Amino acid sequence: MTVQPRPRVRFAPSPTGFLHVGGLRTALYNYLFARKEGGTFVLRIEDTDRSRYVEGAVENLIEALGWSGLDYDEGPGKGGECGPYIQSERLEIYRKYVGELLEKNQAYHCFCTPERLEEMRKQQEKMRIAPKYDRHCLQIPTEEAARWLADGAPSVVRMKIPESTTIAISDIIRGEVEFQSDRVDDQVLLKSDGYPTYHLANVVDDRLMGITHVIRGEEWLSSTPKHVLLYRYFGWEVPRFAHLPLLLNADRSKLSKRQGDVAVEDYRAAGYLPEALVNFVALLGWNPGDDREIFTLEELVREFSLE
* Chain contacts with ligand GLU (rule: CB under 6 A): 12-14, 46, 198, 202, 216, 220
Q: How far is the CB of 54 from ligand GLU (least distance, A)?
A: 13
Q: Which is nearer to ligand GLU, 28 or 110 (CB)?
A: 28
Q: How far is the CB of 202 from ligand GLU (least distance, A)?
A: 5
Q: How far is the CB of 282 from ligand GLU (least distance, A)?
A: 19
What residue type is 49 in one-letter code?
A: D
Q: Which is nearer to ligand GLU, 13 or 133 (CB)?
A: 13
d(CA 119, CA 130): 14
Q: How far is the CB of 242 from ligand GLU (least distance, A)?
A: 11
Residue 38 and residue 248 in contact, taking contact as beta carbons nearer than 8 Å:
no
Q: Which is nearer to ligand GLU, 109 or 226 (CB)?
A: 226
> In sequence order, what DSSP letters do the residues of 14-75 get, joined into one string?
---SS-BHHHHHHHHHHHHHHHHHT-EEEE-B----GGG--TTHHHHHHHHHHHHT---SBB
d(CA 19, CA 277): 13
Residue 32 and residue 258 in contact, taking contact as beta carbons nearer than 8 Å:
no
Q: Is 215 exposed, middle or buried (0-12, 13-18, 19+ CB in 10 A)?
A: buried
Q: Which is nearer to ligand GLU, 214 or 300 (CB)?
A: 214
Q: What are the CA-CA distances from residue 93 to residues 120, 123, 149, 214 (Å)?
A: 32, 37, 20, 21
Q: How far is the CB of 264 from ligand GLU (least distance, A)?
A: 15
Residue 9 and residue 35 in contact, taking contact as beta carbons nearer than 8 Å:
no
Nearest one of 63, 74, 143, 73 to 109, comparing CA atoms:
143
Q: How far is the CB of 300 from ligand GLU (least distance, A)?
A: 21
Residue 79 and residue 48 in contact, taking contact as beta carbons nearer than 8 Å:
no
Q: With H, G, I as helix, E, B as strand and everything else as coil, classify residue 248.
A: strand
- Torsion sign, CA atoms 77, 78, 80, 86: negative
Element (H, E) at 249: none
Catalytic site residue 257? yes
Catalytic center residues: 257
